[in-house]
A and B are shown apart, each in its own frame.
Chain A
Amino acid sequence: MSDNNKAGVLAAVVGVGQTKYQTKRGDVSIAGMVREAAVNALADAELTWDDIDAVVIGKAPDMFEGIVMPELYLADALGCNGKPMMRVHTAGSVGGSTAIVAATHVESGVYDRVLTVSFEKQSESNAMWALSNPQPFSPHLNAGAGGYFAPIIREYIRRSGAPLDVGIRVATKDRIHGSKNPLAHLQLPDITEEQVAESPMLWDPLRFLEACPSSDGACAMVIVNEELADKATKQPAWIRGTAMRSEPTMYAGREEVNPQAGRDCAADVYKQAGITNPREQIDCAEIYVPFSWYEPMWLENLGFAEEGEGWKLTMEGVTSLHEGGDTPWNPSGGVLSSNPIGASGMIRFAEAAQQVRGECGDHQVPNAKTAMGHAYGGGAQFYAMWIVSSEKPE
């Protein structure tokens, strides 16, 4: 494997734009929705459409809205006339991968300012249906994403001996976080662990309130080179490292609970950012947790805890902002509070940037200087991660 830490030019996030996340954005088309996020990001960066050199866009499978290659008709909405436009697709991790492609566009020295946008308008179709297509070599069991991930979670619980209320605690914590974020889809400031425990079981051991919602929304960022970031009015979020990894969905001996590709991706991004102890050196993280139990699982996969110990950090409140934990995870409310699938990964990356820029308002982690953004997708087989910092790298 080549050394990924070869970037020639420093890059930083200087603008972030998001839409409000909600069940249905009936007031805008897809084009209107992505443009709204892009306009917000440009305004935040104090730049105009003319300043942008290239556009990188991402979304999850076309089946989610039933529109094949939506990027074709989004070129004008995103100001791409006469400019390079590229679409990225890596299933649920796509928002993260898209941000990384945009970052490397700048780091390569080829482009100075890149606009990147990710979106999903799930209300226009049915993702559950899109994820349950019949395959000729497999029985058609109609179980959706939860049906795929619940058995893996069950195996995590068996191996780690975690108490059964860990998932309930994550679900409650992320919704309380989300209630401090005005853009979050679910606004449940008074949610209790009892309510989560009593919500209907969907895919045992996952309950309704332990699963992500289905949202419409878009997220955008403006990423620029060092020279331009130095001139930005607002604090830039310096990109300290980016990494992606993938592995096949199925092979004999594949470790599904603690996937190799996730461990390798984390090791790579930490090496680039000079992180040897993520729990101590990372002030907060926005990690892709669409089902509650993925918090303890990723705490272990990403090296914040030893294998089998991740659930203890959750139960001790380490990942909770409102309980004063030292490493808040998903202060924005995370995927459990807002899930426009194609945008969800980019929201993680953008929220990490906003934390180190000090732009998070009521869900700001005090003195956050270094933050991690993470996304995963497919059968937990695509990974994208970045580390951003308020301090410019040496």
Chain B
Amino acid sequence: MSEEKEMITGMEAPMYLTYNFTAGGATTRFLAELRNGKLVGQECPKCQHVYIPPRGSCAACGVPTVREVELTNKATVQSFTIVYIPIPNNPIKPPYVIANLMADGAHQSFLHLISDVDNADVRIGMRVEAIWKAEEEWTHAMENIQYFRPLDEPDMPIDEIGRLKNA
């Protein structure tokens, strides 16, 4: 059976995707303020929770969020993981810490890097601050913040993370 061919079990077929992201009103405001070195959230008029990044509405109450709230550079670690897995083309060298961070005055966490600390010292409740890139590198991206690093402050009690002050 000389004609018998080996089975073709795979052919490379690369796919490229260039995506044009339509930001919408709330994200446009958020990205524009990031470009100015500011973190700005939006407050729900009903439950008073502050969203960052804001999406223009509160998914819990189903109402538009209008009032903008400028947040400081300070945040608390709500939870985290240490990433060891090597992922192709990842510019960040493992092991690195990614954390769910609750910015002061906000009530929904976002993910970012934690650095300038021994990975083993990162803990839930740890206080951290944003380290921004040099101003000339700022674009419309959360990457304007290089990473968060520990603050010399006592940990936040865990049941207060992301909770309304008077709740």
Contacts and interface: CB of A to CB of B under 8 A. Distances in A.
Interface of A: 24, 26-27, 66, 123-124, 126, 128-129, 132, 136-144, 146-147, 150-152, 154-155, 158, 200-206, 248, 250-254
Nearest to A27: B7
B84 A200 contact: yes
B27 to A, nearest CB: 6
Contacts of A147: 81, 83, 98
A329 B30 CA distance: 45
Contacts of A250: 59, 108
Contacts of B79: 151-152, 154-155
Looking at A140, A143, A146, the one whose CB has the most chain B CB atoms below 10 A away is A143
Contact of B113 (A66, A139, A154, A252): A139
Contacts of A26: 7, 9-10
Q: Is the interface of B mostly helix, strand, loop or mixed?
A: loop
B124 interface: yes
Interface stretch (B67-75, B85-93, B149-157): B85-93
23 contacts: A26-B9, A126-B88, A128-B87, A137-B23, A137-B27, A137-B31, A137-B53, A137-B142, A139-B145, A141-B92, A141-B111, A142-B90, A142-B92, A143-B85, A143-B87, A146-B83, A147-B81, A151-B80, A151-B98, A201-B84, A204-B84, A252-B51, A253-B107
B81 A252 contact: no
Contacts of A202: 83-85
Contacts of A151: 78-81, 98-100
A132 B87 contact: yes
A137 B108 contact: no
B117 interface: no
B9 to A, nearest CB: 3
B87 A203 contact: no
Given A138-B53, A139-B112, A250-B59, A203 B13 contact: no
A157 B5 CA distance: 54
A203 B7 contact: no
B162 interface: yes
A249 to B, nearest CB: 8
A248 B108 CA distance: 13
B87 A155 contact: no
B59 A251 contact: yes
Interface string B41-66: 00010010111010000111000000
Nearest to B91: A142
B27 A136 contact: yes
B49 to A, nearest CB: 3
A146 B162 contact: no
A132 B83 CA distance: 13
